[in-house]
Chains A and B, each alone.
Chain A
Amino acid sequence: MMNIQSGTPKAPTRYTTERPICIAVMAMGGQGGGVLADWIVELAESEGWHAQSTSVPGVAQRTGATIYYVEMLPPKGGRAPILSLMPAQGEVDVVLAAELMEAGRSILRGLVTPDRTTLIASTHRVYSTAEKEKPGDATADPAVVMDAADIAAKHTIAFDMEALANKNNSHISACLFGTLAASGTLPFERESFEAIIKAGGRGIEASLKAFGAAYEAAKQPPVPAAARPVLKRPGKHFAPLPASAGHPDLDALLARIREFPAPLHAMLFAGAKRLVDFQDPAYAGEYLGRVDTLHRLDVANGGAGKSFAFTAAAAKYVAVAMAYDDVIRVADLKTRSSRYDRVLRENSVGDGQIVYTTEYMHPRLEEVAGTMPAPLGRFLEFFPALFGFAFRKGRRVRSGTIHWFLMLYALAMLKPIRRTTLRHKREMAHLEKWLAVATAQLAKNYDVAVETINARRLVKGYSDTHARGESKFDRVIGAVPALAARADGADWMRRLRDAALLDEKGIALDGALKTIATL
């Protein structure tokens, strides 16, 4: 196999500059990245080209990020090209990313460069464990990836290919293949691409449909950066304040909302709506009364200059606090017809199919006592040994059967006595205490007062989780007096809240509190 050239050129030879087309597929295990790489290889070979693919699946095929790499070159006088087994920075012509953050990863790896690379990416998100395990919202900002793509890629084609695949009962690999065909980066006709799918085994029809849909979508002109639909959070839905709600009690609530400055209407309406749903119009009236009191204090403390930020925060979090999650609420939500319709929808229950739901509930003695009138509840809690045994096990509530449904239905019927229950008393005491702390700061440090209201975000969850949230909330509130004395107190309050949402036990929060102690 000696391949020694005769003659030894001292000066470097000028070589042909032919180079392969280099394609990297960024995917997660289970997304069909291998299928896509195989299709691309088969496509090139069907056109008489040389193609080579490699991958490093290993354990990454268990849902981890992985990469497939293809190089292809037209034949030249029967000579086999020497192709690389891994992508080189700056040398990749096409990156196909089966998820948005994987597109981001390809940019970080230097595989996307402005002189060469067409970046084809699905904009849908599959959240990583690191993003979804945090108690707050740790989902990565998709706009950062799109902004980076603008800088790194020569050309970007990005849209939600997962949704398109689902719509066509197919897989994202078919959509990526369709987009690759439309991108014009490979000198092959659409028919050649389709022929490869047709030569495959299963799901040919669906794959072709998904391929075609993606092909068309990719041919649409790209969306300018300013008008991109990928935003971190979908907007919140604020229903417009109706002229009339068709019931005198509700109309009275609307009238009271209208007495507030207009910018507050949307949130107040959302709050009132939730509390009518939670309890009754009178309870919503109570809510508006509380917010009204707070608003007056807001006005008195120069809130107008701050766009009534205090009232705005209170409109949201007083509603959240008053609509606490108790057994009655859960039973009510679980027995609604709208809930049944959602179950049908989310589980794609077809005609002629029957669905039953089983609820996983684990009411503890605390929850049961909380649902009793306050004195009785306290009695129960005082003698846990009496009844505690009954609540050690979880209950699987088959809510589609008549007797279990009736049980939940009956629990929801306790609404009229809710305001006498132990839980209600405790929630209201907690609320008053919190609002007292907040209003006490208004004159001293308006912004800290606002952040005291916003700290209510930390209270969420049920049972132990709820207790943990409340403990974090208490720790943050405990720092209020010290921070109110500082001009940057509100910034610290925000930092504390963000830290509290970083981990379950509040380790980051404790760290932040220690820092504050040293200020």
Chain B
Amino acid sequence: MAERSFAREVQDLKLGEGEEFRGEGILAITKALLQSGVSYVGGYQGAPISHLMDVLADAKDVLDELGVHFENSASEAAAAATLAASVNYPIRGAVTFKAPVGINVASDAIANLASGGVTGGALIIIGEDYGEGSSIMQERSHPFAMKSQIWLLDPRPNLPTIVKMVEDGFELSEVSHTPVMLEVRIRACHVHGRFMTKDNKKPDFTLRQALENPRRDTERVVLPPASYLHEREKIEQRWPAAVKFIKERKLNEFFGPETADVGIVVQGGMYNSVMRSLQQLGLADVYGETSVPIYCLNVTYPLIDDEVAVFAANKKAILVVEEGQPEFIEQALNTILRRRDIQTKICGKDVLPMAGEYTPQVVTKGIKGFLELHEKNLLGNSPPPPDASAVLADPKIKELAKTVPPRPPSFCVGCPERPIFAAMKLIQQELGPHQIAGDIGCHLFASLPPFNIGATTMGYGLGPASSSAFNVKADKKPISVIGDGGFWHNGLSTSIANAVYNKQNQVIMVVDNFYSAATGGQDIPSSRAVNPARATNNTIVKAVKGVGARWVRHTDRTYDVGWMRDTLRKALRSKESGPKVIVASSECMLNKQRRVKPLFQKAVRDGERRVRERFGVDEDVCTGDHACIRLSGCPSLSVKHTDDPLKDDPVAAIDNNCVGCGNCGEVSEAAVLCPSFYRADVIHNPSRWDRFLSDIRRSVIDYLQRRREAGRVAFAD
């Protein structure tokens, strides 16, 4: 079960002809899939497309009614391979994942799919994770389209256009027998907007029909000589078919005056930014009227040579607004124009930066620079664009830059991964620093303060594999971290079996929190929840042993910092060959609280006995050294200033968000920190026995306290 319920959004998927959908971009795409008569959807969760997966997981009744098969694929490769169903059958299918990392993983299947081509529409929806808020390396998905000859849609970031491109994308795929990628950037995935819906469509040809009447065509299998034919087919048949369709259906859009001396070619996804910049320069209005002609590429691959030529002809210069690098479109435009001997000057990365996100300031500056070079009179009486540079240059604001602390993401309150890294920090204090490889997942937050653990991250499920080279004789062993998400994504073979087979003398820490937690808490094979639609409860320990690991230790309580540290020590000192695998399992606290909190509150309301645990700090015992914080970083463990004139530094303090996970106590015990932590067990609806015991205890304790306090000589407070 994902961390968010989409029960309300599922209702939006049921909207019919002529109704209005209002909501998030990625959900609009989901609705568009159903309107397009899709037969199956697969994918791998990850920002910014997780919500597509999550809403479909919650939409079982809608999907059943339409006969749509939905799968949580084990990886992007599995998702892309699912599209094989569209190779021989007129079946529409879609898969989704974050990009470009997802395409990296899926590229084997995508390349094979693209080689043989498709019969039914095959759509790959990618959430391009680039710019602010991105959690991955800054690259483009664009070259994947180029290398495999698949088409890349990059719609204007408004819901009607995005939805239309999903629908047209299927058709494009079918007429050109080519898979189509639909690229949506982070903000477009999360954009709130509206569009008019159509009825959902049942597929004309079902998966069942296909399964019961199988077809095959050796020419579609990637094997010589067919594979040689495929390449020719791509260029001689599929490409022209795609170009024809894109032209005829006017997938790319032209805005503004028909003739002008300059123009702008823009990726669809960047259109709104360009329009805002033109507005800032007094060359457009908020409703899309513009003095500068715009050629908007809702299809960024392939480019339509004829359209480019028509747009460029009779212009002195055109500007390409293309985010990311290298500048594939700009290069291609140059080739197109040179081949046709059109001498229009092409600007792009000369006035815009090669690297980095195209924010409004960047685009405005670029367009202004372009116009200054090629059509200065347009800028004649434009107002000065909005600008914050005067404010930012003020010394008091510069002072602020030194004051505002960074605030990267970190482990949540009560996160079960925190004690694992606290133990790892402690063992390094004891045995010295170690070579530690990180992986993808929440556990990567350990690379930041206060833990500062993990030197590299090579990809999802590749943590232990990235320690492979260190399998040499040495006084220290490498340590690798892998999460349960990465483990099932491909870590079991690529990392664990690889380590076993190569007898790697490394310590592998499997962080098992029962979910693919960083992506929103989706279930995975080792999830402990009973999920009627999926086979869960397949333990990591069994899997690890199944591929031959012998030294395996497991805990179901990661909060036991002492055990964790001691087990790490044993693993690091073990003489046994092969990987030493520690499986550290405790439920993701974010998900656990979502599950448990309402039940707890209801039980308390119903008068049932319940104990709530919380941690506290005795501020008069705390000396304000913050050693506990350096082993925790928990958002609910903070500091507070005291009015005690004998205390200089703020003392530790625990706020009301504490969930009583136990890390504070365990850490202070294992690291021998200080006795200021206490756990408070608050008994709600105590039983009569509770009350009886408590009364006795309190009366004895009260008596003793009164006795001592009566004899105490002290200044009054």
Contact = CB atoms under 8 A, between A and B. Distances in A.
A132 B255 CA distance: 53
Contact of A360 (B407, B620, B650, B678): B678
Given A55-B190, A144-B400, A362-B669, A465 B683 contact: no
A48 interface: no
A129 B679 CA distance: 23
B646 A15 contact: no
Contacts of A89: 360-361, 386-389
Contact of B399 (A148, A269, A273): A148
A81 B194 CA distance: 12
Interface string B400-417: 110111111111100000
Contact of A337 (B403, B677, B709): B709
Nearest 4 interchain pairs by C-beta: A56-B133, A90-B386, A110-B388, A394-B669
Contacts of B626: 132-135
Contact of B682 (A152, A238, A347): A347
Interface stretch (A208-216, A401-409, A438-446, A507-515): A401-409
Interface string B634-670: 0100110101111011100000100000001110111
A91 B616 contact: no
Interface residues of A, number: 163
A90 B381 CA distance: 20
B392 A4 contact: no
B705 A337 contact: yes
B399 A144 contact: yes
Interface string A74-93: 00100111111111111100
A1 B253 contact: yes
A360 to B, nearest CB: 4
A285 B27 CA distance: 74
Contacts of A53: 191-192
Contacts of B671: 464
Contacts of B291: 9, 12-13
A11 B377 CA distance: 8
A349 B623 contact: no
Contact of A79 (B259, B287, B396, B629): B287
B257 A8 contact: yes
B273 A101 contact: no
A183 interface: no
A62 interface: yes
Contacts of A336: 705, 709
Interface string B152-168: 00000110000000000
B133 A60 contact: yes
Given A132-B626, A357-B680, A63 B410 contact: yes
Contacts of B638: 126-127, 132
A316 B645 contact: yes
A319 B673 contact: no
Interface in B379-397: 380-382, 385-389, 391-392, 394, 396-397
Interface in A112-170: 112-114, 116, 126-137, 139-141, 144-145, 147-148, 151-152, 166
Interface string A302-346: 000000000000001001100101000010011111011001001
Contacts of A319: 646
A270 B713 CA distance: 15
Nearest to B286: A81
Nearest to B292: A12
Interface in B248-270: 250, 253-260
B280 to A, nearest CB: 7
Contact of A5 (B256, B286, B678): B256
5 contacts: A84-B273, A139-B650, A348-B656, A355-B680, A465-B625
Contact of B672 (A51, A364, A501): A364
Contacts of A127: 638-639
A384 to B, nearest CB: 15
Given A84-B360, A337-B709, A51 B686 contact: no
B401 A88 contact: no
A144 B391 contact: no
Nearest to A361: B675
Given A86-B360, A126-B635, A360-B668, A247 B713 contact: yes
B354 interface: no
Given A355-B680, A460-B624, A461-B623, A62 B285 contact: no
B350 interface: no
B291 to A, nearest CB: 5
B445 interface: yes
A238 B191 CA distance: 55
Interface in B288-305: 288-289, 291
A91 B134 contact: no
Interface of B: 22, 47-48, 129, 131-135, 157-158, 185-188, 190-193, 250, 253-260, 271-273, 275-276, 279-280, 282-289, 291, 359-361, 364, 377-378, 380-382, 385-389, 391-392, 394, 396-397, 399-401, 403-412, 442, 445, 448-450, 518, 562, 614, 616, 618, 620-621, 623-627, 629-630, 633, 635, 638-639, 641, 643-646, 648-650, 656, 664-666, 668-675, 677-686, 690-691, 694, 696-697, 700-702, 704-706, 708-709, 713-717
A54 interface: yes
A469 interface: yes
A267 B645 CA distance: 8
A457 to B, nearest CB: 5
Given A101-B405, A144-B399, 7 more contacts: A58-B133, A62-B410, A276-B715, A319-B646, A347-B614, A396-B669, A405-B697
Contacts of B697: 400-402, 405
Contacts of B185: 85
Nearest to B161: A1
B364 to A, nearest CB: 8
Nearest to A399: B678
Interface stretch (A228-236, A370-378, A428-436): A228-236
B282 A12 contact: yes
A82 B397 contact: no
B462 to A, nearest CB: 18
B44 to A, nearest CB: 16
A151 B396 CA distance: 8
Nearest to A323: B646
A356 B684 CA distance: 12
Contacts of A352: 685-686
Nearest to B649: A137
Contact of B646 (A28, A141, A316): A316
A168 to B, nearest CB: 14
Interface in A383-418: 394, 396, 399-402, 405-406, 409, 412
A358 B678 contact: yes
Contacts of B633: 129, 133
A60 B410 CA distance: 8
Contacts of B713: 247, 249-250, 276, 280-281
A137 B623 CA distance: 12
A104 B273 CA distance: 25
A140 B403 contact: yes
A506 interface: no
A30 B636 CA distance: 12
A52 interface: yes
Nearest to B445: A62
A247 B710 CA distance: 13
A19 B553 CA distance: 62
A412 B255 CA distance: 83
Contacts of A256: none
Nearest to A142: B403
Given A55-B187, A89-B388, A461 B627 contact: yes
B675 A85 contact: no
A20 B291 CA distance: 20
Given A51-B192, A86-B187, A238-B645, A61 B409 contact: yes
A272 to B, nearest CB: 8
A469 B625 contact: yes
B709 A62 contact: no
A73 B686 contact: no
